[in-house]
Structure 1
Amino acid sequence: MSRLVIRAAAGDRQSPSKLASSDGVVIARELASRGVRFERWATPIDLPAGADPAAILAAYAGEIARVQAGGGYRTVDAIRLGPDHPDRATLRTKFLAEHTHAEDEVRFFVEGRGLFCLHIGEEVLQLLAERGDWIGVPAGTPHWFDTGERPDFCALRFFDNSEGWVASFTGDPIAERFPLLEELLAAAA
């Protein structure tokens, strides 16, 4: 189940949360008040275990067309990371470093889950995004993403540019102070 935890940016993994909720309405409201779009969509399509990016994009062609019609995202790709992916550790390390993008970061989770962490002003918002979650992070928002030690997700990524994922790393080690995916899941259990 999706979950949003908000903490003070000056805090760390031991700091009490200002808010913790799995209520989709609360999550959408809290994120919207900070300029982040969040929706929960139906995911009636069960992808085959070995579905490649082309098959994933074809399966979700209707949803892709709907997003592109409303936001003008020229490029869409599918990323799938499983626990046996040969580059899982390298990708996790790269995504865990706080960064920004010159464009919105828009994702739709078609399988599994991942942890989006947004550094907005004096807060860190950690969103456990799961199957059916759509998130639109505004351009320039410092954030990081945790795939987990044993990643298990598939997401559609929407871009305004033809280059795909292009990050500007901030050099701020803030991500090291906050819970990782596994820690957040254990705390919610």
Structure 2
Amino acid sequence: MTRLSRYDDKAPFAERGTLDDFNAIVAAMAEAGVTLERWEAGATLPADARDGDILAAYASDIDRLNRRGGYKSCDVMRLAPDHPDRAALRGKFLAEHVHDDDEVRFFVEGGGLFYIRANGAVHALECTAGDLILLPAGTTHWFDMGEHPRFTAIRLFVTPEGWVARFTGDPIAESIPLYDGAAA
């Protein structure tokens, strides 16, 4: 279930409240400059769907976004609890950063927690299957997939390099509850 918790972006990082209503979350994220949509597959996907099948099932939504945002490539990223690089990937994503490209993710299955720093708050947005999040270039954020990640996501990019981050060096990500703690 999609959920939004908000925290002060200054110590002691007090929680400001939580939203569970999808429309209210969409409105709150729009105020922070972030797009949140809900997508449905254009075809039934088996549990062992290949990347090409996943991309085909969401082709009309992907095409619409490509036209709107000028995205030139997309891929499918899968992480499971037994992925050999899960700890290293988690550590890289957990540091606050920005991109020169939009960060566009659609969760086919599973989920994760995006932390968006905007308007004097940290917006901790739990994205789950069916959620598309679009963070415009320059949005300060980080992401936590938990200690035991389980998600499949479609990623869209403008630049051929794909995911390239500029880390802020701010330790704020260490002060807000992690995904595992937030999901408990």
Name the TM-score, length of structure 2 as normaliser.
0.93
One-letter amino acid matched to 1:106: V
Residue number in structure 1 paired with 2:101: 103
Does structure 2 retain, via aligned residues, the 8 Å contact 1:6–1:19?
Answer: yes
Unaligned 5+ segments in structure 1 are none
Residue number in structure 1 paired with 2:3: 3
CA distance in 2, matches of 1:11, 1:53: 42
CA distance in 2, matches of 1:73, 1:136: 12
CA distance in 2, matches of 1:90, 1:47: 30
CA distance in 1, matches of 2:155, 2:58: 12
CA RMSD of aligned residues (A): 1.6
Residue number in structure 1 paired with 2:173: 175
| 1:72 to partner: Cα distance | 1.5
Does structure 1 retain, via aligned residues, the 8 Å contact 2:41–2:58?
Answer: no
CA distance in 1, matches of 2:56, 2:101: 25
| 1:170 to partner: Cα distance | 0.9
Match of 2:145 among 144, 147, 151: 147
Instruction: After superposition, give the CA deviation of every residue in 1:90-124 in whole Å (9 maximum; x if it has no partner).
Output: 10000001110002111111110000001114210
Does structure 2 retain, via aligned residues, the 8 Å contact 1:101–1:139?
Answer: yes
Distance 1:66 1:128, change over 3 A: same
Does structure 2 retain, via aligned residues, the 8 Å contact 1:108–1:157?
Answer: yes
Match of 2:79 among 81, 85, 94: 81
| 1:12 to partner: Cα distance | 4.9
Residue number in structure 2 paired with 1:92: 90
One-letter amino acid matched to 2:113: L
Residue number in structure 1 paired with 2:130: 132
Name the TM-score, length of structure 1 as normaliser.
0.90
CA distance in 1, matches of 2:80, 2:12: 28
CA distance in 2, matches of 1:54, 1:149: 28
For these two proteins, the number of residue pairs brought into alignment is 184
CA distance in 2, matches of 1:45, 1:165: 28
